[in-house]
Structure 1
Amino acid sequence: MSTAPGTAGKGGALPVVSRERIAQHLQFLEGVRHPVAAPAALQRACTYLEDSLRALGYAVDLHGFLDGGEQYQNVVATRLGTRRPEQRVLVLAHYDTVAGSPGADDNASGVALLLELATIFKEWRPELTLQFVGVSLEENSEETGTGLRGSRALASFASMQGWQIEAVVVLESVAFAGRSVRQEAPAGVPLQVPETGDFLAVIGNQASQGLVSRFVLAVESFGVVLPVVPLVVPGNGELLPDTRRSDHAPFWDAGYPAIMLTDTTNFRNPHYHLPTDTVATLNLSFAARVCEATSAFLLGLACGEGEAPR
């Protein structure tokens, strides 16, 4: 059953996550979404995000930025906070892919969970302003070899505008997992990484250590059946470059607290950035549990009022 997000707590119920809706989003998004190899599909994904979030009743703005002389869009959906609207919680996922991959895990999975979270919280009135953001051009550019262009533009804009961001939650490849999946780890990680790839990694920098702890506590408090491996890296992750490979890094660099939720991508998924990264390879039960865990975290972070749908 569902319960009011503002009153759910230890032993309480979470909003009900729909595997069917997650699957529908994945099926729509699957396919190369790239500014050069498939620009029409990239724009189609942008429009899908915009239309879906508007239909849920959010105020939606397009944050435009230039890259290589072309205009691209981050999609920003906003629900103003009831008591502290000047303080924000952002949930991000990138909707582009590399040129040669349909990008089901990387990162249609993150976008699908973002849209599911926006759906289950569409009637919620959070105390803090809650924003769901689809960012473009996370993947590396063939021309410059740099990525994170959409999130870097957004973090820069937020800094210039003086946004008070309490947390950024980045959903990065969150649907490849299983008890038979072999897990590897980047060199230098200061913890024992499980050998089985059935867990969610929660990555934060020193300034985000509190968010990492709160995410783990939320999973435990709500009884979400999801193994979680937390990692807090020194500074902004400079000594462990693999921990900077998504849209949280520009927010770290701008001084904002941010965490990345990830299945660890190429350290687990043999289909990473390949034509075989399809919906058929994904674990939708795992993705749904990640969505539940994230909803529990958001409930505690931006507590408010209003019913979540059943």
Structure 2
Amino acid sequence: MNLKNEIENHLTSIARDRDPYLATAGHFFVQEYIRQQFAQWGSVEIHTFKVGSKTCQNLILNLPSQPESEKRDLPPILIGAHYDAVPGTPGADDNATGIAVLLELARMFAAQPTKYPLRLVAFDMEEYGLLGPSGASEYAAELRQQDQPLRLMISLEMLGYCDRTPGSQTYPSPLERFYPNRGDFIALIGNWRTIRDLISISRSIRKVGVPSHWLPVPNRGLILPLTRRSDHAHFWDQGYPAMMVTDTANMRNPNYHKPSDTIETLDLDFLTGVCQGLESGIRYL
């Protein structure tokens, strides 16, 4: 099985208008696609939450750890990606790429478990999360309320856009002094508690040939608001160790939140490398 082809197949099914309010048919189609993919590897849990009068769904697949780890009752690693998109865009990079990698990681880790149990979550309503409840904010709050520990939360947020031209990468000041000006790397952004994991996963991604840089941020990212723009921030707010894996969105990708965010604009070799690097990095934790 060719990983790049598998990822491309997922993208073809997911990249479509799927705003939860204005493109309900596309949204439902993608929800069902994820549910069917997850269902190959175990029973799919549906976590429902309300946004106003609308009922929304997070889709959850729990994968067991290696048999020898089960006795130790280790906390799970949660890997999440959002499946909604803004109105009027097929959302290929944002965030069909995150979901495609999530689905491939499910397949890989179902076949060969890791030391930690894994919880893979497809979150809804991320794009509306700044305006009200999101799938991640509701789920993180519920985990905290139940006092459930997590080894780590990893948010997969736009993973497929790469531009090797000098000057293609921008930053909020003063980060441009410390990081490269070509948009050809994958970024890992985590809270202080994840520093060792940031270094370790970054190293695994580089080993497969994809450049990777990491950034630890203090105080839940409040000093650099751009670092909070995904589902991981809700886990920071609840005190969990969490990181975002990202191609840096609009700081690199000119198609961000536009109708032009199509599969053709993505670098599928780069995306495949990110997926391989994440798999080995998560196995290594």
Q: 2:122 — aligned with what? A: 134
Which protein has the bigger helix share?
Answer: 2
Partner amino acid, structure 1, of 2:89: S
Encode CA deviations 1:266-298: one digit per residue, 9 max, x unaligned. 000000000000001000000001001100111
Q: 1:304 — aligned with what? A: none
Cα RMSD, aligned residues only: 1.7
Q: 1:259 — aligned with what? A: 243
2:3 pairs with 1:18: yes
Q: 1:189 — aligned with what? A: 175
Deviation at 1:59, TM superposition (A): 2.6
**Larger relative contact order (C-alpha < 8 A, sep ≥ 6)?**
1
TM-score by length of 2: 0.93
Percent identical residues: 36
CA distance in 1: counterparts of 2:32 and 2:185, whole angstroms: 32
Residue 102 of structure 1: which of 90, 100, 105 is its match?
A: 90
TM-score by length of 1: 0.86
CA distance in 2: counterparts of 1:190 and 1:162, whole angstroms: 39
Following superposition of structure 1 onto structure 2, how do residues 1-310 of structure 1 map, counting pairs within 5 Å? 18-55=3-40, 57-81=41-65, 82=67, 83=70, 84-140=72-128, 146=131, 149-180=134-165, 182-189=168-175, 191-219=177-205, 223-301=207-285
Deviation at 1:215, TM superposition (A): 1.2
Contact residue 35 and residue 59 of structure 2 kept, 8 A: yes
Any stretches of 5+ residues in structure 1 without a counterpart? 1-15, 302-310
Partner amino acid, structure 2, of 1:152: S
CA distance in 2: counterparts of 1:191 and 1:103, whole angstroms: 31
Partner amino acid, structure 2, of 1:237: G
Contact residue 139 and residue 147 of structure 1 kept, 8 A: no
| Alignment: residue pair count | 280
CA distance in 1: counterparts of 2:188 and 2:54, whole angstroms: 34
Encode CA deviations 1:86-136: one digit per residue, 9 max, x unaligned. 510011100000112110000000000111111122222333211111000
CA distance in 2: counterparts of 1:286 and 1:217, whole angstroms: 16
* 4+ runs deviating over 4 angstroms: none
Partner amino acid, structure 1, of 2:243: I
Deviation at 1:17, TM superposition (A): 6.4
Partner amino acid, structure 2, of 1:224: V
Deviation at 1:214, TM superposition (A): 1.9
